[in-house]
Amino acid sequence: MQTDSNNPNPSNVAATNRNSSSGKLFIPPSQRRKFCVLFTFMTILGWVVGGVFSLAVERLLTQILTAFGSIEMQTWGYGIKLLSNIVFAVVFATDQALVIRRYLSGWRWIIATTIGWLTADCVATAWINYIASIANSLNETLSPELAIIFGFLSTIAYIFSGLWMGLLQWLVVRRYTIKSWWWNFVPSVAFLLISVLVLLLSLMQNFIPEAILYGSQQGFTATILGIVPAIGFCSLKRRLPRQTQAS
């Protein structure tokens, strides 16, 4: 019995479609597990190393200014804090770039993540300080209800500050992927999960030693900052040559 050459085998068509779909993924399926593990690990490493370096820079500069008897420590303190944040952001972004550079420009990722992190931190700090000033202006002991409201507003300010980081990273990601507009919200999702986690851990502060509680918060925070973007990268589709679809 002859087969019709114009009707391809359905199983071959399905296999071809699967291969074509896999070829469009930003992170190929065969590399996803390794990528997620490496990206999360390097994010945690960047969080720890960046934190150590930034604290070292902050303490060193403070000691130098104190030794010279600077009388404008408040002014210098802001500059020192900013410099230490820059050091942290660069180390943090560089560690991530060591993994992601295989798929997009590493130096672009470093610049975008560094500027995005600093912007998000400044915006969150400004809003949280503003909310705190409103609470202090009441000139009275806050009731539990008001304390919860102001705490909720501060948390919202922290979560939405991630949009700045997402925007800066998206400007890089969109060059290599299609339909990646949702990346703008990836850091905010991470910040939301971190906020929920911190809340849950705070409920156990009477049962867990302070050192262990702090270490747990830092460890889970770094892990979330690695896992959420890693999953995001695995959900993206890469931009093919001559592709004209809008991001």
Query: pLDDT tens for residues 194-224?
Result: 999 988 888 887 788 888 888 889 999 999 9
| Confidence tier at 247 by pLDDT (50, 70, 90) | very low
Interatomic CA distance for residues 146 and 245, integer angstroms = 49
Q: What number is the average pLDDT over the span 131-144?
A: 76
Q: What number is the average pLDDT over the span 80-84?
A: 88
pLDDT of residue 9: 54
Q: What number is the average pLDDT over the span 129-156?
A: 80
**Cβ pair 169, 109 in contact under 8 A:** yes
pLDDT of residue 144: 75
Q: Virtual CA dihedral for 43, 44, 47, 48, nearest 10 degrees? A: -140
Locate tokens 């068509």: which residue?
A: 13
142 pLDDT above the threshold of 80: no
Amino acid making up residue 91: V
149 pLDDT above the threshold of 80: yes
Q: How many CB atoms lie within 10 A of CB 200?
A: 10
The distance from CA 210 to its chain's CA centroid, rounded to whole angstroms, is: 25
Interatomic CA distance for residues 118 and 81, integer angstroms = 11
| Coil, strand or helix at 187 | helix
Each residue of 163-199: b (16+ CB within 10 Å) or e?
bbbbbbbbbbbbebbbebeebbbbbbbbbbbbbebbe
**What's the whole-model pTM score?**
0.83
14-18, 66-70, 157-161: which has the highest mean pLDDT?
157-161
Helices (H), the chain: 10-23, 29-67, 73-100, 106-137, 144-173, 186-202, 210-235
pLDDT of residue 75: 66
pLDDT of residue 139: 62
pLDDT in tens, 4-20: 545 555 444 344 444 44
Of 233, 219, 222, 195, nearest in space to 43 by CA:
222
Each residue of 112-123: b (16+ CB within 10 Å) or e?
bbbbbbbbbbeb
232 pLDDT above the threshold of 80: yes
- 1-10, 34-43, 132-141: the lowest-pLDDT one: 1-10
pLDDT of residue 81: 87
Q: Which are the contacts of 138, defined by CB distance < 8 A and separation ≥ 6?
A: 146
pLDDT of residue 220: 93
pLDDT of residue 39: 97
pLDDT in tens, 165-202: 999 999 999 999 999 999 999 999 999 999 999 888 88
pLDDT of residue 2: 46
| Confidence tier at 1 by pLDDT (50, 70, 90) | very low
Interatomic CA distance for residues 29 and 23, integer angstroms = 9
